[in-house]
Structure 1
Amino acid sequence: MNHRLSLPPGQGLNDVVSLTQALVRIDSSNPDLGLDSGAGETAIADFISQWLQTRDIECYRIEPTKGRPSVVGVVRGSGGGRSLMFNGHTDTVSLSTYDGDALSAEIQDNKIYGRGSADMKSGLAAAMIALATAKSLNLKGDVILAAVADEEMASIGTEQVLQAGWQANAAIVAEPTEMSIINAHKGLAVFYVEVSGVAAHGSRPDLGIDAICKAGYFLVEIDRLSQRLELRWLEQGNPKLGAPSIHAGVIKGGAEVNSYPDSCTISIERRTVPGENLVEIQEELEQILRKLTREVPGFTAGLRTGFSRSPFGVASDHSFVKLVAEHATVVTGATPQIKGETYWTDMALLADKGIFGVIWGPKGYGLHAAEEWVEIESIQHLVDAFVRIESEFCK
């Protein structure tokens, strides 16, 4: 585990640049991504906890899954005000895919480089500074930091923070958005279709049923469904997030070339938009399987539901969206774009629990790529805006 800090967490690190550098220098690569054995979030959770405690900020460690801790910090208001949560994930993708020193946190041309500099340790650092600043603002409402594990995989961190009972009236997820305000994004659902065949020697077609060949009929129907989803979305005249989509990501079947395979499993990803629900999506797939069972001799298959996450959406004229946009404009001198995105974030989990909010973060590039960096000016603007937002929302 590489845990290289320029200063102990109680000394210095009171500005967003040095704090971002300190966070980047901690290896917190997600251990469940499969590329290599990631370090996990223990070291960075230790660091954040010490940073908060040194500043006399209430700090709670949430770790139902051993070795995957999340940290909650809270500055209590005097009472009677609205609460605001800053949410940021502590994990990163693999260091092995980075070209050069992934933990360097070096500064060049007013940019901080390194794995997680953009995604999303700079946004997390801005939230930490804003939380510490809240102590001097005499607010009525609480300001909460949720520094969560595992966003890059299954988002168990935010789930566990919510399960522990943490709530807020609004939230900002400080993912890198190039300073655009994201008020909607897609959800996703994973399904598994298991096509059954009959095993037999390759010379005995009279005895065997080829599960892989039968699966081909289903793949054709998935392609047709994808086209229908696109057409339906265009007809509705709402291009904001792009069309819902479906594709077959993985297909597995067969043991050797000279045998008829008795099974074939197709893993399907369905990207969803606000207004769609899991029951209707599953029924769409069940209808395809029933049709093929009727029409294709020897076709037998079953459907399993896997992992799913809700889409997220809040109106662009919502009062909180307008509040964030107002302060973003003042701080940056430019009116931010308010838009939807195709990716998924932990904001959907918060929204599922009634916490409205936005995704808003710095100008960062190279996410999950061979080189990653964040623009320093944008994270400085972010801190200033975060403080202005909490000052007004929680007053």
Structure 2
Amino acid sequence: MGSIENTPEGISSDDVIELTQALVRIDSSNPDFGSTPGPGESVIANFITKWLKHRDIECHWVESTPGRPSVVGIVRGTGGGQSLMLNGHIDTVTCLGYDGDPLSAEIKDGNMYGRGTADMKSGLAASMLALAGAKSKKLKGDVILAAVADEESESKGTEEVLRAGWRADAAIVAEPTEMALINTHKGFALYEVDIHGVAAHGSRADLGIDAVCKAGYFLVELDKHAQEIQHRFGDEKPETGAPNIHVGMIRGGEEIASYPATCSIQIERRTIAGETAETVRLELLEILQRLEATVPNFSFDLRSTFSRAPFHLPRDNDFVQLVSKHANQAMGVKPTIKGETYWTDMALMDEVGIPGLIWGPKGYGLHAKTEWVEVESVRQLASAFVGIVEDFCK
């Protein structure tokens, strides 16, 4: 386990707002981003470990990727009850370019400002306090906190926690959702297509094949395909919205005086329930093979590079109803239940048989130059989490 020395003040705080402020004041920006890479999660993981130890809560350090730790805390039940995992990421996007002090955690007019206030240190704080509150309840089921690294990049943290064997009967990811319950969201799949030409001097049309021009045929067909999948479901749109596809980057050619030998196209496809990276790859392959058969000198390679599955939990699931009940009690109004277009770590848990929801505070300015969270919504979330833990794990 890493050192827990030299951690900031706030270890003794049991107030969700004070704890959020303590977490926000730790720069845990992801080292995968920024012209100057962020420091990563080690310091905030040390803080969380010390916070848990201060309360005599069992904790485990998970660091399969050196320098990218996650922390698992667990309050074990007496046996025979259902277990609940509260998952929250401890990294943020870069602090560079933030308007003002990204680590201030200043409260003004009912909002707390700073990088990570919404995404998602306030939800993490609510989860930590719900775990600590379970210690005195003598619940039958286990309550687990998964404070995970790297969600903003490749989600190494949740992957490593699951690979280490941590499981639960249900989970909540406290990403900011404006207090709506998110029961389904899209996945995504990334691909690279290389369109091949033949390099030659710019004056030798008899020798050269322009890979960039050949790529144009594919781009036109891809645009048609993008329109088709948007209307594939007619008026009966999925809760997440229709699937979508776009080209993120194109690279081709080395110099203006030569025929380009290769044009590389990077594609992102957002997927919905029932789709996989392989079904999407086959759709792209069909387009490319059709062009290969009809366009002279059209040649290609297609590669799948990275993917994450979509997530879905039926609205009538018992866990949805339980969380909705406690959200209603905390907010005084029935929560909205809806799908979203983005992806979260909930999909990784769903893939290993852990059903759950994404539910978190009213937060805004995610990944933007100013980020904030509504303080009252954080308090409501923390209150509801305590009730959910007691009800589900009783």
TM normalised by structure 2 equals 0.97
Q: Shift of residue 4 of structure 1? A: 10
Partners of 1:175 and 1:114 in 2: CA distance: 16
Superposed displacement of residue 97, structure 1: 2.3
Task: Indicate conservation of the 8 Å contact 1:30/1:41, yes or no.
Answer: yes
SS at match of 2:390: helix
Match of 1:46 in 2: 46
Aligned position for 1:7: 9
- Cα 1:36/1:296, change in 2 over 3 Å: same
Separation (CA, whole Å) in 1 of partners of 2:233 and 2:31: 37
Matched-pair contact (CA < 8 Å) for 2:292–2:299: yes
Q: Displacement, 1:8? A: 4.9
What's the CA shift for 1:197?
Answer: 0.7
Shift of 1:238: 2.6
Deviations 1:89-117 (A, max 9, x none): 00000101210100001111121110000
AA in 1 matched with 2:299: T
| Partners of 1:374 and 1:4 in 2: CA distance | 28
Q: Name 1:205's counterpart in structure 2.
A: 205
Matched residues in 2 for 1:63 and 1:240: separation?
36
Structure 2 gap segments, 5+ residues each: none
Q: Does 1:306 align with 2:308?
A: no
Q: Match of 1:97?
A: 97
1:341 corresponding residue in structure 2: 340
| 2: CA distance, partners of 1:241 / 1:205 | 48
Closer, same or farther in 2 for the Cα pair 1:316/1:8, shift >3 Å? closer
- Within a 5 Å distance, the mapping from 1:200-279 to structure 2 comes to 200-234=200-234, 237-279=236-278
CA offsets 1:156-182 (integer angstroms, 9 cap, x no match): 100000000000000000000000000
Q: Per the alignment, in what secondary structure is the counterpart of residue 115 of structure 1?
A: coil
Confirm or deny that 1:316 pairs with 2:315: yes
Partner of 2:233: helix, strand, or coil? helix
Paired residue type of 1:181: L
Query: Which residue type is aligned with residue 229 of structure 2?
Result: L
Q: Percent identity?
A: 61
CA distance in 2, matches of 1:182, 1:341: 7
Q: Is the 8 A contact 1:233 1:244 kept in 2?
A: no
Which range moves more in the overlay, 35-44 or 356-365? 35-44
What whole-Å deviation, never above 9, does each CA across 1:127-181 have from its counterpart, x for those lacking one? 0000000001110000000000000010010000000000000000000000000
| Structure 1 CA distance for aligned equivalents of residues 295 and 6 of structure 2 | 61
Please show how residues 43-122 of structure 1 align to structure 2 within 5 Å.
43-122=43-122
> Equivalents in 1 of 2:34, 2:156: separation in Å?
17
Shift of 1:34: 4.4
The separation in 2 between residues aligned to 1:307 and 1:369, in whole angstroms, is: 25
Alpha-carbon distance in structure 2 between the residues aligned to 1:345 and 1:35 = 25
| Number of aligned residue pairs | 390
Name the CA distance, whole Å, in 1 between partners of 2:231 and 2:90: 39
Separation in structure 2 between the aligned mates of residue 388 and residue 334 of structure 1, nearest angstrom? 16
Structure 1 residues 4 and 110, CA gap change in structure 2 (3 angstroms):
farther
Report the equivalent of 1:175. 175
SS in 2 for 1:383: helix
Compute the RMSD of aligned alpha carbons.
Answer: 1.2
Structure 1 counterpart of 2:327: 328
Distance 1:229 1:4, change over 3 A: farther
Kindly provide the amino acid, as one letter, of the partner of residue 273 in structure 2.
P
Q: CA deviation at 1:279?
A: 1.9
**Is residue 2:183 matched to residue 1:191?**
no
Equivalent residues of 2:244, 2:269 under 8 A apart: yes
Q: Which amino acid in 2 is paired with 1:354?
A: G
* Kept after mapping to 2: 8 A contact 1:188/1:309: yes
Residue 365 of structure 1 corresponds to 364
- 2:146 aligns with 146
State the one-letter code of the partner of 1:366: G
Shift of 1:317: 1.1
State whether residues 105 and 117 of structure 1, in contact with CA within 8 Å, keep that contact through their aligned partners in structure 2: yes
Using the alignment, how far apart are the partners of 1:33 and 1:313 within structure 2? Answer: 29
1:278: Cα distance to partner? 2.0
Work out the CA distance in 2 between the residues paired with 1:268 and 1:330.
44
After TM superposition, give the deviation of residue 6 of structure 1 in Å. Answer: 6.2
Q: How far off its partner does 1:331 sit?
A: 1.1
Q: Within 1, Cα distance between the matches of 2:385 and 2:222?
A: 44
1:155 touches 1:346 (CA, 8 Å); kept in 2?
yes
**1:125: which partner in 2?**
125
Deviation digits for residues 171-202 of structure 1 (CA, Å, limit 9, x no counterpart): 00000000000000000000000111100011
Q: How far off is 1:35 after superposition?
A: 4.0
SS of 2:302's partner is strand
Q: Secondary structure at the match of 1:304?
A: strand
User: Aligned partners of 2:285 and 2:196: how far apart in 1?
Assistant: 16
Unaligned 5+ segments in structure 1 are: none
| Counterpart Cα distance in 2 of 1:178 and 1:392 | 23
CA contact (8 A) 2:171 2:356 kept: yes
Shift in Å, 1:253: 1.1
The CA distance in 2 between the partners of 1:324 and 1:8, in whole Å, is: 29
1:331, 1:369 → 2: CA distance?
29
* Cα deviation, residue 281, structure 1: 1.0
| Counterpart position of 2:354 | 355
CA distance in 2, matches of 1:323, 1:14: 25
1:375 partnered with 2:377? no
Q: Distance in 2 between matches of 1:280 and 1:39?
A: 38
